[in-house]
Structure 1
Amino acid sequence: MRWKDDVRQRAESHRIPLSDGNHIPVLGLGTYGDPRTTAKGTALDCVKLAIDEGYRHFDGALVYFNEHEVGQAIREKIADGTVRREDIFYCGKLWNTFHPPQLVRPALERTLRSLKLDYVDLYIVELPMAFKPGNEFYPKDQDGNYIYHHTDLCATWEALEACKDAGLVKSLGVSNFNRRQLELLLNKPGLKHKPVSNQVECHPYFTQPKLLEFCRQNDIVIVGYCPIGSSRDTSWVNVKSPPLLEDELLVSIGEKYSKSPAQVALRFNVQRGVAVIPKSFSPDRIRHNFQIFDFSLTEGEMKAIEALNKNTRFVELLMWSDHPEYPFHDEY
């Protein structure tokens, strides 16, 4: 058991406090995989491997269609004594078709049934844009246009607060919210539980300095998705920006520390107090991405990497840019 205690201890020290008294592990595993191309059992195997490697934070969502596998992996590693439930931090997401207040708790309960867990550690509003409620996650009309729904973020938030009060979730957060949308919640009359986190794209080519500063001032932790760039899938990724991991500066700093550009990019965000959730279903890369706690970047290296910022998103979600609450028209 000695090595298990050692891993547990290491995992304990890599956590960021949240404003509600809970903690978020600074490095997590993203579990998104295209359900059309990802083999069954992939998420199950990868989450079990990740837990053995020391990961304690898992980022999932109902619309990833694999929460049952992620939950099974977590339960198996609890059953074999590797971890306890309280060691694991699971983040689930409220999808766009469940924004009406009466649909919020049923959506969360659906996630809990898939996971076969009693609670999630963090539940976040995946996007500030509501879609027409119904059985379709991506509702479209006969002309192929997305069908939107009126968004009342404050009413959705109040329904989430009730879920926290009922013990179904430990912490509440948001994702892809801009400053205006965050302020809407922060200034909501009768706010009971403020958002503890905002999950947004964040990496050396898109460092989010203004949003990061605003969130720091309001005790909101940034959780960075695509922290090592993203796939080059032109159906949803902006490929005008060059591949992050080929950047000369990241390569040269990596050579100095015998680390890869990916490890340097992850370390950069972690040192800024940004939690990161690199997604991988490759066992080697899952192991590799966790190996960022045995070196530190100097102040000069941090500044140099910050200067790489191009203010370019990989994930623009342009197909929804006509939604009244599309978050990326604002500067931040």
Structure 2
Amino acid sequence: MFIGLMSGTSVDAVDGVLVDFPPAAPPRVLAYASREFDAVLREQMLALNRAGENELHRAALAANALADLYAGVVSDLLATAGVEATAVRAIGAHGQTVRHQPAAGYTLQLNAPARLAETTGIAVVADLRSRDVAAGGQGAPLACGLHQAVFGGADPVVVLNLGGMANITVLPGRGPGKVIGFDTGPANALLDLWCQRHTGAAYDAGGAFAAQGQVDAALLAHFVASTPWLAVPPPKSTGRDDFHAEWLDKRLAEFTARRGAEMAPADVQATLVAFTACTVADAIGAHAPGTTAIYVGGGGAANPVLMDALRQALQPLPVEPTDALGVPAQQVEALAFAWLAHAHVEGLAGNLPDVTGARGPRVLGALYPA
């Protein structure tokens, strides 16, 4: 058995799964648990996405706090499944991304894996992205191998993850072609940011804030036209280094100056939803023209307004949560990091070079023994 822990760029919660990997069979999730970030740790993590005073000290303390949060999720998983820590071979712990600069040769996920191993008594596989970056890759997305193993079938489909950022895995089915995957742009990161600024809520529960507004076609066009990254061919990845408060504020200021009037906050939220939907649809249209269905994982799958926007942008293709394929949407990313921990322990490559752009397959991560 293995545990996978995922805390994504939305910085909303840690999702964890306890997974069995039977020989010659799909992985089987035995337990799921989730714990939310408290407001203080969430703000500390978001602040560490920007340069600031005494960064190294603040980052170390935040990493320790994250490891303690991870340990709480591990405890919940073991209690739910009724198993002992000694029955788990390793934990795959993603850490919290605070910088992602593959073009500069690095990606940084805050974590304290030695502390997590010491607290739980379970070996930890961490730092799962940096080897791919060292091999010339993007270090992301890394869930594509899991998507291929679990969701691959006869028909060509796309698996869409809606976390802080959006990314797709294109599975060719039995037809010609290779598995490809890449980030398509922002998802929950900008939606959460704008919602918190104007409502005080950490995220737009049920898409209620966006539902109050109307999509502004001119603002949507400005978002697209002013973001040359969208036209960069894969392999590519992104994060809060590219899409952040300053990115949004600059474009809103440009648009307001042109129009001569500020937009209603709910209209901006609705337009940000449309921005995610149209960038996903454009990416699928360009790189998965033969796909038959889109299956959605990640927190964004629980936002009905975003899901409706995707269905409209991608019609007539069906757009459904990964639940339809037997894996609940909120568990997919954590399952991927259990899968990566399993691959590390077995000495298997965890990356797909056609996805990340790395020079070849690599065993990912570093092991911290129990």
TM-score between both structures, scaled by the size of structure 1:
0.30
Q: Which has more strand, going by share of residues?
A: 2
Q: Which has more helix, going by share of residues?
A: 2
TM-score between both structures, scaled by the size of structure 2:
0.28
